[in-house]
Structure 1
């Protein structure tokens, strides 16, 4: 990866930044799905896990040709008044790296019970005693609310920024621009 593009959210009196980020990220996801490329990574340079928020900047990482091809697809149509696109720019030379990846919570005890009943050939009451409601895992990571293209359901896509490392790891990114293995430059 040699280049990046920052897409910064502009202040809007009608919509808070998190709603604009949800819309921007959903459009990016549709753009990446339509393009079918797995060489664009994303990061959120102003994220804050303590609040939690992804901030007001979505950064795209990739090679010049891949970034040009993605931006030519006009995937952010309808958001031009809400964003400022900066770049492509060259990634600074002194860099460190990190993974930006999806984290899925085990938040549905009911789903876990159904799975338990299938695996252990047991009844619902036994499953409920084995897996109480208190087993639901609550994450405190930043997230975007996004709609599934396949099921139509809305869900929270929790995003974690991994530990900073000094060596890059090559790999592919999913249609959200995330990867549990491949790193992006962090600056």
Structure 2
């Protein structure tokens, strides 16, 4: 990753940071979907410079990273965030500093969630009643995540869900491509 562009979220007294994250990330996601290759991989990843798992916070900055300046120009963050200009400041495209702290992977965490949700899915999948599915899951512990998250609205179902984001540092840079959220367990971004 040699080039980056920062997007700073600007909440105010009436509009909170979580709301701004939801709106900005939705637009970024839609733009990234447009750049996917035939395998669903993207050459643009994200970083969250103020990410804090301990404080359960994403911070107020989203960084887009790519191997070339041309990729970020083609993505055109300004176009995707045009109607949110009061709530997001976008820098120009810059070179990644030569001295970086480390590399990291930002990835999606998908907890199994509540047993009620799992039972609904099980009942539908196995064509059984909800009571029978709940009984089958009675002794299954629920999985939760306390990782930072962004509310996202599914384009296909219209439902809102929490997109939990994890972070892990890696020793060497790896480039396998990113998903439509700019996240990956296999691809890293520079930390600076």
Q: TM-score, length-normalised on structure 2?
A: 0.85
Give the structure 1 partner of residue 183 of structure 2: 178
The question of 1:14 aligning with 2:19 is answered no
CA RMSD of aligned residues (A): 2.4
Paired residue secondary structure (1:138): coil
Give the structure 2 partner of residue 115 of structure 1: 122
Match of 1:48 among 52, 71, 75: 52
The question of 1:157 aligning with 2:168 is answered no
**Unpaired runs of 5+ in structure 1?**
none
Distance 2:36 2:61 in 1: 23
Paired residue secondary structure (1:81): coil
Q: TM-score, length-normalised on structure 1?
A: 0.87
> Following TM superposition, by how much is the alpha carbon of 1:31 offset from its aligned partner in structure 2, in angstroms?
1.1
Question: 1:5-154 residue pairs with structure 2 within 5 A?
Answer: 5-36=5-36, 38-62=42-66, 63-71=68-76, 74-95=79-100, 96-113=102-119, 115=122, 127-132=133-138, 135-154=141-160
Question: How many aligned residue pairs are there?
Answer: 185
Cα offsets for 1:116-173 (capped at 9, x unmatched): 9967x998666534422772211100000011111111110000111x2231011111
Cα offsets for 1:70-94 (capped at 9, x unmatched): 1167111211111211231111122
Distance 2:27 2:96 in 1: 24
Residues 122, 133 of structure 2: 8 Å contact kept: no
Compared CA separation, residues 89 and 127, structure 1 to 2 (3 A): same
Residues 52, 58 of structure 2: 8 Å contact kept: yes
Paired residue secondary structure (1:74): helix
Distance 1:133 1:79 in 2: 46
